[in-house]
């Protein structure tokens, strides 16, 4: 029997529901978990605080879509205003606006998580069967030539000239139309987001999804969660509606995302029991540059990242332990005209000149790996969530190094000028000026950066003093409360995280169903 996706308008009175497993969040973590559980014949109910936007409602209008599939229209920042937090708030979570880069977790990272953090059952050997299956379901293949837009080709050319290693990025796409509207939700259902894959599977197998339903309060009895109370949101006004849904279940899983899961558990007053809840937050801070080319680049068409530079994935330290370079992936950037207008620094004539030349404006971006850098933390100030993240001394060095490498690769690819999105609109006309990067202020609010890959906050590990969940994804001290998303990662993944999140959910599904 087929399941159903309910919206706010379907709920006209308070509801009480019983199920086997209740999952909070419908992103890569929650949807993959629900898909696996329903495959095993387990009854699931999913809650999603965001709206349900089926593919036929996508209109390719950048600003309309930001209001639907980008939480807070991408305007949330860290508490100090330094970094933009980018995440999903809709059925399918951030996968609806992600780039579909689908990397298996590097073996060195899984080994480190095992040896340094004591994580079990998540070795490469454990995860390969999940990825093999996901490759088929999400149609993951390395990007071929036809999907490389001019900016991708320029990055490939620049890397070759500089002798930097790169690769064709594995992509979760089927019959891609090259529209370039990946970040607005794919109107062709070609990008294999959770919305058009695992969510679809869950509904076909009888799973129930309540969109517009914010999970609020766990009702607990010692170490056992009895039920969960959710508030139905009145979508047209965005305000709390009058109705609630109470779910009784044998197991409850928090899959509310890297920024959401620890927030939910903190709101449920679990910090006293779990001292590191909300700690060790990573977010792959992502500095980027703009570059002006002689020819049209039209960065907003075709897929965002078909070619990536992995030469600097692992940070290099000298014999004394001093940072030398690296610790990030470097990619072509894809921003659309409305976002570019906000992200290109400067005012008046200078800004207008860049905007008039928009088809020739390309750029690059990179994700700093949160591993040896200082990690952040989420705390509640009353009802208000505060996200703190200070990249620390090494993190700051990585940011400057990544900016320099982006300047070099754009010039190597033939850029006429490179513009840094800092408060001084620093402009370079030659790679010889690279030292100006050392003078760029990294104080909050001076350099635009995004954070699309949150991790941590509910770190996995054996000890309740230093972690929140065990290797079975079960919250320490609870019989039936679990976490299944990027918030369990002990550090950043060192590549884009979606495929790690999904493979971890395969493991979580086995643990949870085994304990029912
Ligand atoms: C622009 C962009 C591009 C990206 N590109 C890539 C890429 O190419 N490759 C890659 O691997 N990764 C990419 N990422 C990151 C990737 O999309 C995310 O890491 C991943 O989708 C996160 O999955 P998740 O399940 O952990 O969380 P989410 O997708 O954030 O899902 C959590 C869901 O829980 C819901 N929720 C939160 N709190 C509650 C509550 N109290 N009650 C009910 N629901 C709640 C949220 O609304 C959300 O929908 C990108 C991210 C962005 C922003």
Start-to-end C-alpha separation, the chain = 22
Please tell me if the CB atom of residue 503 comes closer than 6 angstroms to any atom of ligand 1. Answer: no
Q: What is the pLDDT of residues 127-176, one digit of tens each?
A: 999 999 999 999 999 999 999 999 999 999 999 999 999 999 999 999 99
Please tell me if the CB atom of residue 256 comes closer than 6 angstroms to any atom of ligand 1. Answer: yes
Residue of 304, 453, 505 to test ligand 1 pocket, by largest number of atoms within 8 Å of CB: 453
The span from the CA of 204 to the CA of 4, in Å, is 9
**Under 8 Å CB-to-CB from 152, ≥6 apart: which residues?**
143, 302, 303, 305, 306, 307, 332
Atom of ligand 1 nearest to the CA of 74: 53
User: Which residue has the least CA distance to atom 46 on ligand 1?
Assistant: 89
Nearest CA among 92, 102, 30 for reference residue 58: 92
Distance of CA 352 from the midpoint of ligand 1 (Å): 34
Q: Cβ distance 20 to 42 under 8 Å?
A: yes
Please tell me if the CB atom of residue 497 comes closer than 6 angstroms to any atom of ligand 1. Answer: yes
Residue of 73, 93, 233 to test ligand 1 pocket, by largest number of atoms within 8 Å of CB: 93
262 token code pair? 């620890």
What does pTM read for this prediction? 0.98
- CB burial string 99-135: b at 16+ within 10 A, e below: bbbbbbbbeebbebbbeebbbeebebebbeebbeebb
Distance of CA 240 from the midpoint of ligand 1 (Å): 22
The span from the CA of 317 to the CA of 319, in Å, is 7
Neighbours of 380 (CB within 10 A): 15
Nearest CA among 444, 487, 506 for reference residue 87: 487
User: Which residue has the least CA distance to atom 31 on ligand 1?
Assistant: 27
**Cα torsion angle, 465, 470, 475, 479, sign:** negative
How far is C-alpha 192 from the geometric centre of its chain's CA atoms? 15
Please tell me if the CB atom of residue 98 comes closer than 6 angstroms to any atom of ligand 1. Answer: yes
Nearest CA among 91, 113, 109, 92 for reference residue 6: 91
Residue 29, φ and ψ in degrees, nearest 5: -70, -55
Please tell me if the CB atom of residue 486 comes closer than 6 angstroms to any atom of ligand 1. Answer: yes
The span from the CA of 272 to the CA of 265, in Å, is 11
Distance of CA 489 from the midpoint of ligand 1 (Å): 14
Residues in the chain: 516
Atom of ligand 1 nearest to the CA of 257: 27
- Between strands 208-210 and 4-6, the pairing is parallel
Q: Cβ distance 352 to 259 under 8 Å?
A: no
User: Which residue has the least CA distance to atom 15 on ligand 1?
Assistant: 453
Say what the alpha-carbon torsion angle 282, 284, 285, 287 is, to the nearest 10 degrees: 170
Please tell me if the CB atom of residue 99 comes closer than 6 angstroms to any atom of ligand 1. Answer: yes
Provide the 3-class DSSP secondary structure of residue 95: helix
Nearest CA among 181, 213, 212 for reference residue 299: 181
Query: How many Cα atoms within 13 Å fall on the side-chain side of residue 151?
Result: 30
Nearest CA among 367, 327, 445 for reference residue 79: 445
Q: What is the pLDDT along the chain (516 residues), one digit of tens a residue?
A: 689 999 999 999 999 999 999 999 999 999 999 999 999 999 999 999 999 999 999 999 988 888 888 878 888 899 999 999 999 899 999 999 999 999 999 999 999 999 999 999 999 999 999 999 999 999 999 999 999 999 999 999 999 999 999 999 999 999 999 999 999 999 999 999 999 999 999 999 999 999 999 999 999 999 999 999 999 999 999 999 999 999 999 999 999 999 999 999 999 999 999 999 999 999 999 999 999 999 999 999 999 999 999 999 999 999 999 999 999 999 999 999 999 999 999 999 999 999 999 999 999 999 999 886 778 999 999 989 999 998 889 999 999 999 999 999 999 999 999 999 999 999 999 999 999 999 999 998 899 999 999 999 999 999 999 999 999 999 999 999 999 999 999 999 999 999 999 999 999 999 999 999
Q: What is the 3-state secondary structure (H, E, C) of 428-447?
A: ECCHHHHHHHHHCCCCCCCE
Residue of 22, 94, 185, 194 to test ligand 1 pocket, by largest number of atoms within 8 Å of CB: 94
Please tell me if the CB atom of residue 300 comes closer than 6 angstroms to any atom of ligand 1. Answer: no
Beta strands in 169-325 (DSSP E): 170-172, 208-210, 213-221, 224-234, 239-254, 279-281, 286-292, 307-309, 316-317, 323-325
The span from the CA of 211 to the CA of 53, in Å, is 10
The contacts found for 115-119 with CB under 8 angstroms, 24 or more apart, are 116/490, 117/459, 117/460, 117/461, 117/467, 117/490, 118/461, 118/462, 118/463, 118/471, 119/460, 119/461, 119/471, 119/490
Residue 409, φ and ψ in degrees, nearest 5: -70, -35
The span from the CA of 446 to the CA of 429, in Å, is 21
Distance of CA 453 from the midpoint of ligand 1 (Å): 8
**Cα torsion angle, 432, 436, 442, 448, sign:** negative
Q: Cβ distance 172 to 191 under 8 Å?
A: yes
The span from the CA of 247 to the CA of 218, in Å, is 10
Residue 192, φ and ψ in degrees, nearest 5: -90, 65
- CB burial string 201-217: b at 16+ within 10 A, e below: bbbebebbbbbbbbbbb
């Amino acid at each position: 029997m087929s399941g159903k996706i309910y919206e706010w308008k379907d709920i006209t009175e308070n509801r009480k529901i019983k199920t086997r497993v209740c999952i909070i969040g419908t992103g890569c973590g929650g949807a993959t978990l629900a898909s696996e559980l329903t495959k095993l014949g387990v009854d699931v109910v999913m809650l999603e605080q965001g709206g349900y936007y089926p593919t036929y409602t996508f209109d390719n209008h950048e600003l309309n879509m930001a209001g639907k599939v980008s939480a807070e229209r991408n305007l949330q920042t860290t508490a100090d205003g330094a970094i933009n937090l980018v995440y999903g708030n809709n059925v399918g979570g951030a996968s609806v606006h992600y780039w579909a880069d689908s990397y298996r977790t590097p073996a060195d990272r899984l080994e480190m998580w095992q040896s340094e953090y004591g994580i079990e059952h998540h070795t490469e050997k454990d995860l390969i069967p999940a990825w093999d299956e996901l490759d088929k379901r999400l149609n993951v293949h390395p990007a071929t030539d036809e999907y490389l837009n001019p900016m991708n080709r320029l990055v490939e050319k620049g890397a070759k000239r500089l002798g930097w290693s790169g690769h064709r990025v594995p992509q979760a796409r089927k019959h891609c139309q090259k529209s370039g509207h990946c970040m607005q939700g794919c109107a062709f259902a070609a990008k294999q987001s959770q919305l058009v894959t695992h969510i679809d599977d869950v509904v076909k197998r009888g799973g129930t999804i309540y969109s517009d339903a914010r999970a609020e309060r766990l009702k607990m009895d010692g170490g056992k969660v009895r039920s969960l109370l959710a508030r139905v949101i009145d979508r047209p006004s965005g305000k709390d509606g009058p109705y609630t849904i109470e779910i009784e279940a044998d197991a409850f899983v928090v899959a509310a995302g890297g920024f959401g899961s620890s927030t939910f558990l903190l709101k449920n007053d679990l910090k006293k029991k779990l001292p590191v809840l909300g700690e060790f937050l990573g977010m792959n801070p992502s500095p980027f540059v703009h570059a002006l080319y002689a020819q049209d680049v039209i960065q907003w068409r075709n897929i965002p990242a078909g070619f990536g530079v992995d030469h600097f994935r692992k940070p290099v330290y000298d014999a004394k332990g001093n940072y030398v370079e690296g610790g990030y992936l470097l990619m072509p950037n894809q921003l659309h005209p409305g976002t570019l207008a906000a992200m290109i620094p400067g005012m008046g004539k200078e800004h207008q000149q860049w905007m008039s030349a928009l088809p020739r404006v390309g750029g690059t971006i990179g994700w700093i790996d949160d591993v040896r850098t200082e990690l952040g933390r989420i705390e509640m100030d009353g009802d208000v969530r505060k996200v703190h993240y200070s990249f620390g001394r090494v993190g700051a060095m990585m940011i400057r190094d990544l900016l320099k490498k982006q300047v070099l690769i754009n010039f190597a690819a033939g850029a006429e000028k490179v513009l840094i999105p800092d408060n001084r609109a620093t402009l370079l006309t030659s790679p010889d000026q690279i030292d100006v990067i050392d003078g760029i202020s990294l104080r909050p609010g001076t350099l635009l950066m995004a954070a699309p890959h949150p991790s941590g906050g509910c770190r996995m590990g054996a000890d309740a003093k230093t972690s929140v969940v065990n290797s079975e994804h079960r919250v320490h001290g609870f019989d039936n409360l679990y976490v299944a998303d990027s918030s369990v990662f002990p550090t950043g993944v060192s590549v884009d995280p979606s495929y790690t999140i999904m493979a971890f959910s395969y493991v979580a599904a086995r643990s949870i169903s085994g304990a029912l």
